[in-house]
Amino acid sequence: MEHRLPDGVYAASLTPLTADLKVDHPRLAAHARWLLDSGCAGLAIMGTTGEAVSFSVSERTELLERLLDAGIPPSRIMLGVGCCALPDTVALARHALDHGVHGLLVLPPFYYKNVRDAGLIAAFDALIQQIGSASPEVYLYHFPQMTGVPFSLSVIDRLLAAYPGVVVGVKDSGGNVENMRAMAQAFPGFRVFAGSEKFLVDVLRAGGAGCISATVNLTARLAAEVYDAWQSPQADDLQRRMSAVRQAIESFPMIPALKLLTELRTGAEGWRHMRPPVTPLTPSEEDALQAAYAAALAEVQSPV
Amino acid sequence: MEHRLPDGVYAASLTPLTADLKVDHPRLAAHARWLLDSGCAGLAIMGTTGEAVSFSVSERTELLERLLDAGIPPSRIMLGVGCCALPDTVALARHALDHGVHGLLVLPPFYYKNVRDAGLIAAFDALIQQIGSASPEVYLYHFPQMTGVPFSLSVIDRLLAAYPGVVVGVKDSGGNVENMRAMAQAFPGFRVFAGSEKFLVDVLRAGGAGCISATVNLTARLAAEVYDAWQSPQADDLQRRMSAVRQAIESFPMIPALKLLTELRTGAEGWRHMRPPVTPLTPSEEDALQAAYAAALAEVQSPV
């Protein structure tokens, strides 16, 4: 089984917007370039942190084209394509494959709840059949807190049996490291990415492939250092410090927190636009976040 | 405040599909006509029961056009238009208004959870501003079990203050009759439709407008009789019998149950197609449903 996408640390990239809430394509390309230059193995584009579901299919295909035009390599992109409507998911997946992006991060159809295993399997059957023979590399996007539709071990087992070499991995954003370990142990070769860099060392020790995380929009360099050092004696200490940074951020709503901190990092105004229903932090939340983040960073920089 | 849509009983219409899972437009038109002829005041087209989110924007606009072409009056249609992506919701709403359909049933953006009131308000601000001045009649689609995004009384209060005559009502599919009563009492003139005919008499007594229900795909005539008789001495007995029919159906997954029973009602094969992740009942479930439904119908037809 050949893997096109590398192991390692992925940022679940933010999507910068203009004041009228359109995608700011040049700024997205610059952010993507910075993330790769900061040590990211790859980029998850159009995931939850990227406000994917808030954009129409045509906005999403344009976003990908503009990003590739700006020189971001397709072999470093894992693209979110999962929609409620199968024709939309198929359209996004085909468009990606036509543009050389093979890594597809696929949410389950996420409106209906109490979905039966057979329904989830049927959705992936239809998707993979309708994509055709363009060699997709499908990553299951497990995020039950948002979707209400988990990928159980039994569903994954059936998908792997049906689509070897096509269904190749998972982004587990459920926050339960035991589930990540269970998947890595149950399915050798299945590429388990933790949904947070908090679990990076844990998931690598369990045989996982890396992490795909929102906070890596800020912690990319640190996360790459932890990834490089995960088998070293310093691994646990580095992980602990990185987790403290994550912790400082994740007690606030994630997307507005990351957009604020990215505005501060870059000094470029206009990062704090987001589409409803995602909302900016209040001024007092912004102050509290900045204080918590600064304290966590100071701790990272102190001697080991 | 002029209401274009009538009070009364609405079917949350099923969407019949062909074997290749496309919309069966002639069959939908025939079903809609049967529902209106059976006493429905109106039809909720493209709601949860209609598998709305499983169709692309272009499939949804075509569905409406074909239904209107077939002679279903736009003044009897409440159209589901709420998507996660605001541009999609706006496109569907504008298309509906351009075709004379003013009654819009609007889900909140339903991917993100823990949405703040400000985010939900902002989503409706953007929608209503982008629709423009085409006199929409907006019904909030409250279904927290599916969306995870409830419309609280405080959000409704703010929307009513901001958009009098535009935000005019709610379909409450939450199943809690106390919430329906609370809305009807808190907001005089706000049109509260129960999401199940189980609550029809209750919600009418509380000042509500009627019901919009999946099971009305089958119980239309009975529900219309209960509606007509709700102030009569027979109301409670009629309600009880109708609720027993609903109860017999709702212990099974709703969409496949209704598609099976509609196939049996019409004698027309091919009703049991549905898009994943919705799945058909198992054969034993189908048998159990038919038995339960037949028993409830026999009870309805027994002397009062």
- Cα–Cα distance measured from residue B245 to residue B239, given in angstroms and rounded to the nearest whole number: 10
Which is nearest to B141 in space by CA: B277, B248, B44?
B44
Is the CB of A146 less than 8 angstroms away from the CB of B84? Answer: no
The count of residues in chain B is: 304
The token duo for B219 is: 């119980």
pLDDT score recorded for residue B2? 53
Residue B4: per-residue pLDDT? 85
The answer to whether the beta carbons of residues B242 and B219 sit under 8 Å apart is yes
For residues A90-120, one letter each, b for 16 or more C-beta atoms within 10 angstroms of the residue's C-beta and e for the rest, the string is bbbbbbbbebebbbbbbbbbbbbeebbebbb
Can you tell me the distance from the alpha carbon of A113 to that of A76, in angstroms, rounded to the nearest whole number? 33
pTM across the whole model: 0.97
- B88, B111, B250, B254: best mutation site toward chain A, by most A Cβ within 10 Å? B111
Within 8 A of B55 by CB-CB distance, chain A residues are 85, 87
- What is the number of other CB atoms lying within 10 angstroms of the CB of residue B131? 20
Going A281 to A283 to A288 to A292, the CA torsion angle's sign is positive
What does the pLDDT read at residue A304?
56
Instruction: Return residues 158-187 of B near A (CB < 8 Å).
Output: none
CB count, 10 Å around CB of A282?
A: 12
Question: Catalytic residue at B111?
Answer: yes
End-to-end CA distance of chain A: 40
A165 residue type, one letter? G
**Residue A214 forms contact with B (CB below 8 Å):** no
Strands B103-106 and B137-142: parallel
Nearest-CA distance B281 → chain A (Å) = 10
Instruction: Name every chain A residue with its beta carbon within 8 A of the beta carbon of B114.
Output: 253
CB atoms within 10 A of CB B276: 23
In A, minimum Cα distance to B282 occurs at A118
Distance (Å) from the alpha carbon of A59 to chain B's nearest alpha carbon: 9
Which residue stretches of A117-215 are H helix?
117-131, 144-147, 153-162, 177-186, 200-205
Residues of B in contact with A123 (CB under 8 A): 276-277
Q: Looking at beta carbons, which residues of chain A come within 8 Å of B116? A: 253, 277, 279
Could B113 and A146 be called an inter-chain contact, meaning their C-beta atoms sit closer than 8 Å? yes
Stretches where chain B sits below pLDDT 70 are 1-3, 303-304
Tokens of A24: 């700011």
Q: List the single residue in A84, A86, A276 with the smallest CB-CB distance to B86.
A: A276
End-to-end CA distance of chain B: 40
What domains sit in chain B, N to C, each tagged with a CATH number? 8-230 (3.20.20.70)
User: CA of A48, closest CA in chain B: separation in Å?
Assistant: 8
pLDDT per residue rounded down to tens, chain A (304 residues): 455 899 999 999 999 999 999 999 999 999 999 999 999 999 999 999 999 999 999 999 999 999 999 999 999 999 999 999 999 999 999 999 999 999 999 999 999 999 999 999 999 999 999 998 778 999 999 999 999 999 999 999 999 999 999 999 999 999 999 999 999 999 999 999 999 999 999 999 999 999 999 999 999 999 999 999 999 999 999 999 999 999 999 999 999 999 999 999 999 999 999 999 999 999 999 999 999 999 999 988 876 5
- The pLDDT score that the predictor gives to residue A133 is 76
Each residue's pLDDT tens digit, B197-220: 999 999 999 999 999 999 999 999
Q: Which residues contact B200 (CB under 8 A, 6 or more apart)?
A: B9, B194, B210, B211, B223, B226, B227, B230, B239, B242
CA distance to partner chain B, nearest, from residue A111 (Å): 6
The set of residues, in sequence order, having a beta carbon less than 8 Å from that of A238 and lying 6+ positions away, is A201, A222, A225, A226, A229, A304
CB-nearest to A113 from B119, B126, B145 is B145
Residue A75 tokens read as: 């072999």
Measured between alpha carbons, how far is B240 from B229 in angstroms, rounded to an integer?
Answer: 13
CB contact under 8 A, B57 and A56: yes
| Contacting B residues, span 113-152, partner chain A, CB-CB under 8 Å | 113-116, 118-120, 122-123, 125-126, 145-149
Collect all residues with Cβ–Cβ distance below 8 Å to A17 and sequence separation of at least 6. Answer: A23, A24, A273, A274, A275
Nearest CB partner across the interface for B122, out of A91, A113, A276: A276
Which residue spans within chain A are E strands per DSSP? 8-12, 42-45, 77-80, 103-106, 137-142, 167-172, 191-194, 210-213
Query: Tokens for B10?
Result: 């609405």
Answer whether A277 sits within 8 Å of B116, measured CB to CB: yes
- With CB atoms and an 8 Å threshold, state whether A122 touches B87: no
pLDDT, position A303: 67
**Distance (Å) from the alpha carbon of B197 to chain A's nearest alpha carbon:** 21
Q: Which two tokens stand for residue A218?
A: 């800020």
The answer to whether the Cβ–Cβ distance between B277 and A119 falls below 8 Å is yes
Nearest 5 degrees, angle CA B269-CA A115-CA A167?
105
Q: How many CB atoms lie within 10 A of CB A5?
A: 24
Distance CA(B280)–CA(B257), nearest Å, equals 8
Note which residues in 244-303 of chain A have CB less than 8 A from chain B: 253, 275-279
Residue B25, both tokens: 């437009």
Cβ–Cβ gap B56/A115 under 8 Å: no
Long-range contacts of B113-118 (CB under 8 A, 24+ apart): B113/A145, B113/A146, B113/B148, B113/B149, B114/A253, B115/A277, B115/B149, B116/A253, B116/A277, B116/A279, B117/B152, B117/B154, B117/B155, B117/B158, B118/A279
The answer to whether B9 and B210 have CB atoms below 8 angstroms apart is: yes
User: Could you tell me whether strands A137-142 and B8-12 are parallel, antiparallel, or unpaired per DSSP bridges?
Assistant: unpaired
Residue keyed to tokens 């002029």: B2
Tokens of B58: 């272009």
Tell me which chain B residues have a C-beta less than 8 angstroms from the C-beta of A55.
Answer: 85, 87
B249 touches B264 (CB < 8 A):
no
From the list B171, B259, B262, B293, the catalytic residue is B171
Q: How far is B129 from chain A (nearest CA, A)?
A: 13
- CB-side exposure of B156: number of CA atoms within 13 Å? 29
Yes or no, beta carbons of B85 and A278 under 8 Å apart: no
As beta bridge partners, residue A79 has A45, A104
Q: Which chain A residues are Cβ-neighbours of B146 within 8 angstroms?
A: 111-113
Question: B22 CB near a chain A CB, below 8 Å?
Answer: no
Of A225, A179, A185, which is closest to residue A205 (Cα–Cα)?
Answer: A185
- The string of DSSP codes covering chain B is ----SPSEEEEE----B-TTS-B-HHHHHHHHHHHHHTT-SEEEESSTTTTGGGS-HHHHHHHHHHHHHTT--GGGEEEE---SSHHHHHHHHHHHHHTT--EEEEPPP-SS-S--HHHHHHHHHHHHHHH-SS--EEEEEE-HHHHS----HHHHHHHHHHSTTTEEEEEE-S--HHHHHHHHHHSTT-EEEESSGGGHHHHHHTT--EEEESTHHHHHHHHHHHHHTTTSTTHHHHHHHHHHHHHHHHTS-HHHHHHHHHHHHH--TTTT---TTS-PPPHHHHHHHHHHHHHHHHHHHS--
- What are the chain B neighbours of A277 within 8 Å (beta carbons)? 108-109, 112, 115-116, 119-120, 122-123, 149
Positions of A marked active-site: 48, 111, 141, 171
What pLDDT digit, counting tens, does each position of B236-280 carry?
999 999 999 999 999 999 999 999 999 999 999 999 999 999 999
Candidates B10, B61, B89, B141; catalytic one: B141
Provide the residue type at A48 as one letter.
Answer: T
Active site residue B141: yes
Q: Who among B88, B119, B145 is closest to A276 (CB)?
A: B119
